[in-house]
Structure 1
């Protein structure tokens, strides 16, 4: 019995030795080059999560340009999974038809709100002027903590577009409470922060009025859609934009 166990342990040791001999993490490029000569310019490396390796210009162009939309998905692993609140939702972590529909809708709405035009530039300038006025109001300019002023500056540009409001520099505790801490701790709080803003905008929506923010415009399109635009998707799109902006 002892002999059998010893033989098994020996085989395992040999396997591990050979494995690291052939797949040396410090000389990975040599291993990849060897695989290309044996398997061609497209092959799979069987790590804990299989990786498809593209080694030629033609294969890279075909995958990322010719069939680019087929490769827009995310792995769905840490840390990405921290920011996924629903399967295939939003614009950052979705793929396929859902991604195309949400992206198309978001681009149309953002263009209506002046993306790439002077309207959006004016909003950014307005937030900058308010930021500068806040700095001027600080008495001790030799010791200025820029963390929250800069955070509010960016948040105001994003909030104005998404939710139609902006924070006052002397009244921003709500945002500070939600966004303070490490990403893993702060993200659930920020998601709740966005959810509350979306709900507030839904209550102020009037289909007879012109859309005053991204949420209102999304609701207008949602009422005319086949179901691909819905409340959960709207929440995820706003969440993606808010986090990307922050």
Structure 2
């Protein structure tokens, strides 16, 4: 073996073979890397992962129990993982193998199934108006109801809005209704008790779900033999409420389906299922539709709600920025109508502020976990060995708070997204929901 090949082999192996012990915290029986990470004094998983990136670099080897996890924090490394087909897989857990009998939906599907389902979903959501002006009426309707709720709960302008309002009780339903209009062709009143119960279950499900897979990923046998010692049972019960909700919608849609005149995404998907019924290789089935809708429901309720909440928070914390936003809106839109997508090119400070909110809040601190495709072979990333059964976590928060990229990431400064002429400028390091996930 030549000296160059030997050097490269050592470089590839060192992340886990520990020839260079600077690439990650040590591994302890059962606890993996958590024991050492606990000594760092970090109170959340995200802060501990950021500390690991600070100590060890852009590609760090961690262990959750015996399960290897690769924490990827640098922008270039994240771009590479996101663009490579061999990293487009998803970690496989006991939930997929023993409970779901496969990977379904969009978040955890992989390979050709993921490509086909993602392509079909994006194409049809766009055709139905997602991200287009045709949805403005629905969005405006939801905004008006939010204003009415705030007016009612706060006591209104006649009392000086003296009663504090918990915005999280209002904003979640507004975001879901816009998405649900496309998926199922309907909306719910913000006071609908069924919708409120559903939203509460979504919040609870997100709380019991752990970034690194938790006990489910670390000790799968514990989940199988002693499920009462884990949160898996609670998570599955909460998920079942969403499944039942979607299944009931699918049943109602089937009863009134007109394949020639689809009303919404569920109609379009059901029609595709029926058309491909004889195709044994088809990935279209009612079960897949249920999981797909739940993924959209979860993602839409969580990220939209949190982004809106942070937007309100930052405007309260930085009134001088709020004033600039208001002045631009008054100048371009006026006070007699709601903003339109047509106004967007003329609202550079508003867009810069929204970009800064997405950067500093980082509502999705880590992307959806990646893995080597189907977990069938090892891989290499920037000179490091990536075991075939490991999960790759892309640290978006670290990119958004990297002083080498942003200079003063701790400051809330929308102006960083404006050029010398005051025009909005996109930044390649703003990746609030990942790249190509």
Per the TM superposition, whether the score is higher than 0.5 is yes
Counterpart of 2:266? 215
SS at the partner of 1:114?
Answer: coil
Could you tell me whether the CA contact under 8 Å between 2:173 and 2:199 is conserved in 1? no
Counterpart of 1:112? 127
Could you tell me whether the CA contact under 8 Å between 1:91 and 1:237 is conserved in 2? yes
Counterpart of 2:255? 203
For residues 156-196 of structure 1, give each alpha carbon's deviation from its aligned partner in whole angstroms, at most 9, with x where no partner exists. 112111111111234x1112223325213533322222222
In 1, Cα distance between equivalents of 2:165 and 2:93: 38
Counterpart of 1:5? none
**How far is the alpha carbon of 1:105 from its aligned partner?**
0.7
Q: Structure 1 length normalisation: TM-score?
A: 0.69
Q: How many residue pairs were aligned?
A: 213
Counterpart of 1:129? 144
**How far is the alpha carbon of 1:217 from its aligned partner?**
1.3
In 2, Cα distance between equivalents of 1:73 and 1:208: 36
Structure 1, unaligned stretches of length 5 or more?
1-17, 34-40
Whose Rg is larger?
Answer: 1
Could you tell me whether the CA contact under 8 Å between 1:156 and 1:165 is conserved in 2? yes
Counterpart of 1:12? none
Q: 1:180 to 1:60 in 2, by over 3 A?
A: closer
Residue 243 of structure 2 corresponds to residue 188 of structure 1: no
Q: 1:207 to 1:60 in 2, by over 3 A?
A: closer
Larger mean CA deviation between 141-150 and 46-55 belongs to 46-55
Larger relative contact order (CA 8 Å, sep ≥ 6) = 2
For residues 72-123 of structure 1, give each alpha carbon's deviation from its aligned partner in whole angstroms, at most 9, with x where no partner exists. 3332459x97xx8552211111100110111011011111111232113332
Could you tell me whether the CA contact under 8 Å between 2:105 and 2:288 is conserved in 1? yes
Residue 171 of structure 2 corresponds to residue 150 of structure 1: yes
Alignment of structure 1 residues 6-45 onto 2, 5 Å:
25=36
In 1, Cα distance between equivalents of 2:174 and 2:118: 26
- For 1:235, which of 267, 275, 290 is the aligned residue? 290
More helix by share: 1
In 1, Cα distance between equivalents of 2:149 and 2:77: 53
**How far is the alpha carbon of 1:43 from its aligned partner?**
9.1
In 1, Cα distance between equivalents of 2:289 and 2:119: 13
In 2, Cα distance between equivalents of 1:174 and 1:46: 38
In 2, Cα distance between equivalents of 1:86 and 1:143: 47
Counterpart of 2:68? 50
Residue 124 of structure 2 corresponds to residue 73 of structure 1: no
In 2, Cα distance between equivalents of 1:155 and 1:61: 30
Q: 1:120 to 1:76 in 2, by over 3 A?
A: farther
In 2, Cα distance between equivalents of 1:133 and 1:30: 46
For residues 177-216 of structure 1, give each alpha carbon's deviation from its aligned partner in whole angstroms, at most 9, with x where no partner exists. 233252135333222222222222222211132x211101
Q: CA RMSD in A?
A: 3.8
Could you tell me whether the CA contact under 8 Å between 2:184 and 2:265 is conserved in 1? yes
